[in-house]
Amino acid sequence: MENLNIVIDLIKLRDACEDPYNLLKSKDGTELFLREWKADQLSTTSFLIFHGITAHSGLYGMIGKHLSEMGYSTYGLDLRGHGLSEGPRGDYVSKDKLSEDLKAALDFIKSKHDKLVLIGHSFGVITSAITVNLFPEHVNGMILLSAAKEVREGAYAKRALTTTIKILIWSIIKPNKPIIHYYREGIRGIGDPLFNFHYTLRFLKLLNPTKFVLPEVMTYPVFVGVGEHDELFSVDATRAFFEEIPSDIKEFAVLPGAKHAHFEETSFEPLFNWIKNTFD
């Protein structure tokens, strides 16, 4: 079996990071990596990016750098066990730990800025939904990218019954073992130590894409975008997700030239235009 006990040198990898960053302490002492794209001055409105599954904040420089050039302070959180944050790779012991990690990031950002807009990409949309349900008083807007409630048929290979049984057995015997291998055709980051491709069952249950819910009332602006060539979610499925969002201030856009996690330089023009017209 492939060795899943991956050990990475966080200090060395952090030293190689070209972006400014902050190291936050969660309630249990776990060190969380919060990347920062600095604006010339601290802005009233800030943005917090939540990365997709397997990924980390460093992949979102195309958004973070542009927002900072627009004058908005922008941050990217590496979830516990991802990227340059501490913690066992691909595992969350409980919802309480996730809540404590999110609170550490929100408290840090809100101590510097009056308003906070969440940006969730793919799996990060689930993190955004959890955040706004746990801490609604901290959120002043949401940007949800590359997500829907229905995945394209055939986007993922079907798991063999024997693999499913093995996952269930290991999850009972050793729930902290990252036994589930996440893979899809064309996935990026293979061989890069900042990416994670193995997860525990309890992690995926905690951030379950089929069970996340948004608040019943959302009084702030919401933007939903999907790549015109997204391999996982169709434009129609994402639009259906958009229609369910309970906000009177919302906008839907197809991102030109974009796939699920691959974007052209012009892909985010609809998003940046919306931000310019919506926030101070």
For every residue of 86-114, which 3-state class applies, written as one string?
A: CCCCCCCCCHHHHHHHHHHHHHHHHCCCC
What total of structural domains would you count in the chain?
A: 1
> Which pLDDT score is estimated for 237?
95
In a domain, 62, yes or no: yes
The verdict on residue 150 lying in a domain is yes
In a domain, 208, yes or no: yes
Are 26 and 97 within 8 A, CB to CB? yes
Provide the pLDDT for residue 2.
42
Strands 31-37 and 21-25: antiparallel
Is 258 within the bounds of a domain?
A: yes
Is residue 4's pLDDT more than 60? no
pLDDT the model gives residue 155: 78
Task: Tell which residue, 163, 145, 162, has the closest CA to residue 272.
Answer: 145
Which residue range(s) make up the domain with 237? Answer: 10-278
The residue type at 28: D
Domain contains 40: yes
Model pLDDT, residue 276? 96
* 8 Å CB contact between 264 and 256: yes
> Domain of 102: which CATH number?
3.40.50.1820
Given a contact cutoff of 8 angstroms between Cβ atoms, the answer to whether 16 and 84 are in contact is no
**Residues 99-128: pLDDT tens digits?**
999 999 999 999 999 999 999 999 999 999
pLDDT for the residue 3: 40
Q: Is 16 left (phi over 0), alpha (psi -120 to 50) or beta?
A: alpha
Residue 84 falls within a domain, yes or no?
A: yes
Domain annotation covers residue 2: no
pTM of the model: 0.94
CA-based nearest residue to 275, from 218, 221, 214, 219: 221
Give the burial string for 247-267 (b: 16+ CB within 10 Å, else e): beebbbbbbeebbbbebeeeb
- Confidence class for position 262, pLDDT limits 50, 70, 90: very high
What single letter denotes the amino acid at residue 66?
H
Token pair in block for residue 109 = 């950002």
Q: Is the pLDDT of residue 194 over 70?
A: yes
> Given this model, what pLDDT does residue 6 score?
59
| pLDDT, mean of residues 16-34 | 96
